[in-house]
Amino acid sequence: MRKITEFNKLLLMILLGLALINVSCEKVDEVKEIEEEIVEEEIIENLFIYNGNEYETPEALILNYGEMEDNVTEFEVSFYSSSITYVANDGDPIISGKGDLLQIYLEANMVTDSLPEHKYSFDGDSDYFYDASVEIDVDMDSDEDIGTYLEVTGGELNVTKTGLVYTIEYTFQLDNGKEVTGSYKGEIDHVMDAY
């Protein structure tokens, strides 16, 4: 009779061991699922993509030129390489250095001090913007004074803000038939009444 009891103990230990292994495997699977969810979260990078190439733009500046006419505020939002110096200079910004630069010019149908949070659509029928253009300078050299000026024909600009940190994501269709996409996350200096 004692052998049956020992057998029962051994069987019980085997069953407990299997249950623990099963629970451990389930926990490992849960941890893997959580890790995958974290990896799937969108990472905002400070760059733009144009013509199949990525250009890092860790710096940003917003120039607010103020009310232009009939409740219209003009903005210039610039994203640029850290090797570029960008100084607002009474409506005539001084840009020097070598690197990459993307400037978005916007005329907003409102009077405002800062670029408002909104998902802006450039479809020719915008309640917020009636004009937008983009200037792209890749491998810019301020001594050469070269750049490409393109009109925006469609696309979106999504602006959100948490405290002082802006998240800006954009996709623009351009008048040369190409597209530029990009994003920026960080604090952005504002220059008011830049004219």
**Same-domain pairing of 34 and 56:** no
Q: Give pLDDT, residue 30.
A: 66
47/165 Cα distance (integer angstroms)? 16
**Same-domain pairing of 90 and 121:** yes
pTM exceeding 0.75: no
Place of tokens 């351009």: 174
pLDDT of residue 181 exceeding 90: yes
79/63 Cα distance (integer angstroms)? 12
Contact between 158 and 77 under an 8 Å Cβ cutoff? The reply is no
Least confident interval from 12-16, 114-118, 164-168: 12-16
Query: Tokens standing for 11?
Result: 């069987």
**Same-domain pairing of 29 and 89:** no
Q: Quick one: average pLDDT of 105-120?
A: 78
Coil, helix or strand for 28? Answer: helix
**Same-domain pairing of 112 and 72:** yes
pLDDT tens digits for 28-73?
566 566 555 544 456 778 999 999 999 999 999 988 888 777 777 8
**Same-domain pairing of 135 and 163:** yes
Contact between 104 and 116 under an 8 Å Cβ cutoff? The reply is no
Percent of the chain past pLDDT 90, that is, above it, reads 21
Q: Give pLDDT, residue 33.
A: 66
Q: Give pLDDT, residue 49.
A: 94
**Same-domain pairing of 117 and 135:** yes
Q: Structural domain of residue 151, as residue ranges? A: 47-191
**Same-domain pairing of 160 and 105:** yes
- For residue 166, which of 96, 72, 75, 50 has the smallest C-alpha distance? 75
> What DSSP assignment string belongs to 140-169?
EETTT---EEEEEEEEEEEEEEETTEEEEE
**Same-domain pairing of 93 and 187:** yes
**Same-domain pairing of 2 and 86:** no
37: left (phi over 0), alpha (psi -120 to 50) or beta: alpha
State how beta strands 148-162 and 129-141 pair.
Answer: antiparallel
Contact between 96 and 113 under an 8 Å Cβ cutoff? The reply is no
DSSP state at residue 42: P
Least confident interval from 145-149, 160-164, 181-185: 145-149
193/10 Cα distance (integer angstroms)? 83
pLDDT tens digits for 16-40?
777 667 655 566 566 566 555 544 4
**Same-domain pairing of 120 and 162:** yes
Coil, helix or strand for 29? Answer: helix
Percent of the chain past pLDDT 70, that is, above it, reads 77
Number of domains the chain is built from: 2
Task: Give the contacts of 166 (CB within 8 A, at least 6 positions apart).
Answer: 60, 115, 159, 160, 184, 185, 186, 187, 188
Q: Give pLDDT, residue 39.
A: 47
Name the helix (H) or strand (E) containing 45.
none
pLDDT of residue 188 exceeding 70: yes
